[in-house]
Structure 1
């Protein structure tokens, strides 16, 4: 696997003055150039390697969380869980178990709002509350943020960047939240996957314990390596094209 440069800028805690962001962007060579000048999150990654990332959003319910972790362990797969603060506070043992088993934990806001309707101060509060909860439970600050409902604007992405977060979307939506059958979800993923894909699942999906093993087995059969999002993406020296694909300079 090609070497990815890890980001050494961790999210800042609430109340810390953000100094030197502009200097870091200029001197550090970080690039966030988009053709139409709009800021975009990362939907997928440009790569020749057969690597993909799957992810789970957790906001409601935990009936399937431990079974999901057991299935991931069975297939020796690590993935990324995006957690809402009220979920993390309600199920702290699950948060600890997710991290203990080697999975990546991302930020999914504090109250699951449409972040585009918030002020900058409210955005910071949503991000920092959840980041602090995750750090207190896992010992690590999250570095990835997924906006609730996939809703974003320039102000949100700029705020996330200032706090040290990469904003992550997805290139394949499993639609497991629509109560599709396991067969439909398996076909949907395996027929659309390509190198650099980021797949969206939900931890409380009705059929997750049925479709997840089949998808993992199918991906492995097709020669894909499944990694956490933090290992799939580039952390420096990249740009994002108009489709949301992250491309190394």
Structure 2
């Protein structure tokens, strides 16, 4: 029971009003655990009190947990310096036990589309977390893979086959690092100009390609340019798509762009960026990540894994 109580305390600390930093608070929790009745019973100092072994075992487990968290945080601090971030990224809270209910954003509906996959730009959460997504697959920068792994920043990739077919292996390495690969159509066409059958071919065809190459059939789909109609959502649903995340902000190496009037982040916002390099941008993909993470962290947010909330 003592171990259970301490786990709850740590979870409560990590899921407070903002994203958390490991460190002093965990040491306080450890001190509390060690001081909560771990002494011997009155009247007999020669043998442990009943339950003392269990309490000592719990304290040992907590000590090991604290040390692991401290080492992970130290590694992240060092990575943030190495990659030129202004601050160490905040740690996201544990994923919710019950996933939030996702609904289509007001104004993004299609007539008669109540039963179709929801289209949204923000996940309904209270914690200060946002979600990072990267589209298309044109640039295959190995520094991006290293940077995101060392910083432990989760992100999701929405891929178009015509841009990734020259190097499927790059995205397999990405998948092996825990990144979920999702559908962005075969050829990145403007879908509302296509027939239902043509849209279905673009979406289902990419489902088939991703399943063949990476062993998974995505549940998430993002239409090119963020444009869709009822046929798009019907076709996506027929291919196994469950949700259509768009975005509330977009990141570039030199700036952030905002959908909302207040030009700010909000809990649960989805951030879009692209696989691009100097040929298209004023910088590299690591430059873009620096811009995004400096903005996110300065505003008190952590990046969480989108798939844990959907």
Q: Output the TM-score relative to the length of structure 1.
A: 0.70
Q: 1:31 to 1:46 in 2, by over 3 A?
A: closer
Tell whether 2:148 aligns with 1:72.
yes
Larger radius of gyration: 2
**3-state SS of 1:145 partner:** coil
Counterpart in 2 of 1:200?
A: 272
Tell whether 2:212 aligns with 1:136.
yes
Matches within 5 A, 1:155-234: 155-165=231-241, 166-174=243-251, 176=252, 182-185=253-256, 192-205=264-277, 206=281, 207=283, 208-220=285-297, 222-233=299-310
Unpaired runs of at least 5, structure 1: 7-29, 177-181, 234-249
RMSD (Å) for aligned C-alpha atoms: 2.9
Tell whether 2:226 aligns with 1:150.
yes
Unpaired runs of at least 5, structure 2: 1-94
Q: 1:52 to 1:70 in 2, by over 3 A?
A: same
Displacement after TM superposition at 1:101 (Å):
0.7
Confirm or deny: 8 A CA contact 1:88 1:134 kept in the other structure.
no
Return the alpha-carbon distance in structure 2 between the equivalents of residues 137 and 199 of structure 1: 26
Counterpart in 1 of 2:136?
A: 58
Q: How many residues align?
A: 201
**3-state SS of 1:112 partner:** coil
Confirm or deny: 8 A CA contact 2:131 2:305 kept in the other structure.
yes
Greater RCO (CA < 8 Å, at least 6 residues apart): 1
Q: Output the TM-score relative to the length of structure 2.
A: 0.57
Matches within 5 A, 1:79-98: 79-98=155-174
